[in-house]
Amino acid sequence: MKFGVQISRWRTGVPDIVRWVADEGEAMGIDSAWTSESYGGEAFIPLAWMAGKTSRIRLATGIVAMPARTPTATAMAVMTLDHISEGRAVLGLGVSGQKVAEGWYGQPFGKPLARTREYVDIVRQAVRRSEPVGYDGAYYQVPARDSTARGLLCYMHPLRQEVPILLGSQGPKNIALSAEIADGMVTGLFAPKASAWYEEQLDVGFARAGFSGRKPGFEVAAIVDVRCGRSLSQAADPLRPTMAFYIAKMGLPGRNYYYDTFVRLGYQELCERVARTYAEDGADAAAALIPDEMVEAIALVGPEEKILADLKAWDDSVVDLMVLRGPDEDVKAVLRGALS
């Protein structure tokens, strides 16, 4: 199992974990650093800073929002990062959610699978630099439709013509799409006991791409919450409100893949209660319904020694890389134990 660190969104200042990754994490043996974005901090800039402070770890966006940039702008950013880091860039992409895409970026959400396919096609075309970019899709047109301009060839030569692209994937169709067109996937709320279900969805995509088994080099990265505490229940407490929010408020009615994730784990009746309670009695009452075992299914929670023992289940799953996120000291403690 490989381990990475998620540089989660921050409200002000620079988190200590950013500097720790550069000062200690690389020497300790972490595989990668991952940055995210939504409608606050930007993902590429912290990776560029870490590129100058490190020499080995991979530098990955996990994930950048497709509505935030045109495909060619994303290609420019990742090519630049790849040069600065001497070939350590990894591009994690995601469609974001409809609320963020339309409410922050001012972009129509559309059909996420079709949009993703077009976006990846253009990024790859731009990075390969084998010919001027030309694409006429339903969502993206380069050059612009009805324009007299010609497609352009990026004047910066890429360090690598193939930069790894991983897709943020939660639902079954997006997981299959990742297996078909990408080099890996980044998922959240992964539960080791559901590993076989993920493998089934991946196999659908691998078959579409012409592979009878797992595509060579394909990587499954899971973003995993970490909370250390004297007991499982105490450690799980900070994650209950987040899980209740995922179940009740993420996405739109009938299109909440996070809700569906917990239903697949056998919590359909509980999910219905959580959603109803959230609407009628508020967030705190909904969070109180989340049991310890539900948190434990998708997160590393409890005393350090318990967490280290729990890693065995993840090691036996389809996951290749655990990207840990949480309070800085908790993440550091688990990584020290796992990599010692």
> Alpha-carbon distance 96 to 90, whole Å?
18
**Whole-number pLDDT of residue 252:** 62
Query: What pLDDT, in 10s, does the model give residues 111-133?
Result: 999 999 999 999 999 999 999 99
The pair of structure tokens assigned to 214 is 């797992």
Q: How far apart are CA 138 and CA 115, in angstroms?
A: 8
Residue with tokens 């990754």: 21
SS3 59: strand
Q: Compute the mean pLDDT over every residue in the chain, rounded to the nearest whole number.
A: 95
Instruction: Place 10 in a pLDDT band, splitting at 50, 70 and 90.
Output: confident
Residue 101's pLDDT band (cuts 50, 70, 90) = very high
pLDDT recorded at residue 251? 65
> 2-226+303-339 has which CATH code?
3.20.20.30
Mean pLDDT of 181-205: 97
pLDDT at 255: 72
- What percent of the chain has pLDDT above 90? 90
Say which range, 81-85, 119-123, 216-220, 259-263, has the weakest mean pLDDT. 259-263
Question: What is the rounded distance in angstroms from the CA atom of residue 47 to the CA atom of residue 64?
Answer: 12
Distances (CA, A) of 216 to 32, 185, 203, 212: 20, 14, 13, 11
The DSSP secondary structure of 107-165, one letter per residue, reads -----HHHHHHHHHHHHHHHHH-SS---EE-SS-EESPTT--PPP---SSPPS-S---E
Residue ranges of the chain assigned to CATH 3.20.20.30? 2-226+303-339
